[in-house]
Amino acid sequence: MDLHLKNKVILVTGGSRGIGRAICEAFAAEGALVAFNYVNSQEKAEALSAYLQDKYGTKALNVKADMSKESEISAMITQVEQTLGAIDVLVNNAAVCPSGPITSYSTETWNETFAVNVTGMFIASREVVSRLLQQQKGGAIVNIASQAAFRGSTTGHLPYDSSKGAMVSFTIGLAREVSAKGIRVNAVAPGLVRTEMVAKTWEERKERYLQTIPIQRIAEPQEIADIVVFLASERAGYITGATVDASGGMMMR
Ligand SMILES: NC(=O)c1ccc[n+]([C@@H]2O[C@H](COP(=O)([O-])OP(=O)(O)OC[C@H]3O[C@@H](n4cnc5c(N)ncnc54)[C@H](OP(=O)(O)O)[C@@H]3O)[C@@H](O)[C@H]2O)c1
C-alpha cells in the first residue's frame, strides 16, 4: 500500500532511541525526509542520521533541542524548515518518566515532567499548526501517549501518567479545532514496548506483566512506528482525535 509519504517532511521529537528511532526509520523507509531531535544522545543521533541516509537514500537531520526549552524548540523548527522544507507531519514522542510513590516527588520533578511531556508538545504543535495554517496546507500530528493515561501505572509513575492523560485530552481538543482545516491530530497509546524506558521494569516483573497482556509479549518499537506512519498518512484521512490502543490488549476500552 502506497502511503504517499515520499518527500514529505517529518519532525519526530526524541528520535535518538527507542520508539522515536523506530518511527524515524519507518518514515525514511517510505521515502520521507526525516528530522528528529535529542537532548543527550549525540552519538546515537548522528549514527541514526547517517544510517537512514545510507540505507534509504533519503535526507535525515538530527538537532540537539531540549523539549523543556521554548527557544530550543523554536530554533529546531526553523532549522528543519531551512534544511528540509516546510513540515508536513509532527510526531510528539519525546518524554521522561520518573519513578516513585507520590510522596517521593518534588514539585520540580512534577514540573519537569510536564515541561517535556506536555508543554514541549504544546509548543511544537503550536508552531507547526501555525505554519500549516499560514501555508493553507493539510498536515498531521501524532502524539505518543500511553496506556498509563487510562490505567495509571502499577510501578509508580504518577507525573508521567498524568502527563499522558493531558496528551490524550490535548489530542482531542486540538483535533476539534483544526481538523476542518485539513490538519488531523491523533495519538497512539502503547502498552509495554522494548526500549530503555522500561527495560529494567520489564526484566524485574516480566511474569506479572504477562498476566495482564492478552497478546502475551512486549511490543517491539517497530510495531508502534508502523501505526504512527499509517496515522500520519493520507490513508488515515478519516481518522482524527483518536487514540489508538496499541497495548497488546491490556486496555480493551
Ligand atoms: N517504552 C514503553 O513501554 C512505552 C509505553 C508507552 C508509551 N511510551 C511512550 O513512547 C515514547 C518513547 O518512549 P521510549 O520508550 O522510546 O523512550 P526512551 O527510550 O526513554 O527514549 C526517549 C527519547 O526522548 C528523548 N528525550 C527525553 N527527554 C528529552 C528532552 N528534554 N528533550 C528532547 N528529547 C528528549 C530522548 O533523547 P536522548 O536520547 O537524547 O536522551 C530519547 O530520544 C514516550 O512518549 C513514551 O512515553 C513508551
**What would the grid cell of residue 25 be?**
526509520
Provide mean pLDDT across the span 220-244. 98
The minimum-distance atom of ligand 1 relative to the CA of 160 is 47
Ligand 1 within 6 A of 76 CB?
A: no
Q: Domain ranges for the chain, please list them.
A: 9-245
160 is catalytic: yes
**What would the grid cell of residue 133 be?**
495554517
The minimum-distance atom of ligand 1 relative to the CA of 19 is 16
With H, G, I as helix, E, B as strand and everything else as coil, classify residue 189: strand
**What would the grid cell of residue 103 be?**
510522596
Extended strands (E) in the chain: 9-12, 33-38, 60-64, 89-92, 139-144, 183-190, 243-246
Provide mean pLDDT across the span 65-87. 98
Ligand 1 within 6 A of 40 CB?
A: yes
**8 Cβ partners below 8 Å, 6+ apart?**
27, 32, 33, 88, 89
Ligand 1 within 6 A of 179 CB?
A: no
Average pLDDT, the chain: 97
Q: Pick the residue with more confidence: 12 or 137?
A: 12
The active-site residue, picked from 38, 56, 105, 160, is 160
Q: Assign 155 a pLDDT band (cuts: 50, 70, 90).
A: confident
Ligand 1 within 6 A of 246 CB?
A: no
Provide mean pLDDT across the span 230-252. 98
Strands 33-38 and 89-92: unpaired
CATH architecture of 9-245: 3-Layer(aba) Sandwich (3.40)
- What is the reported pLDDT for 253? 83
pLDDT tens for 190-218 read 999 999 999 988 999 999 999 999 999 99
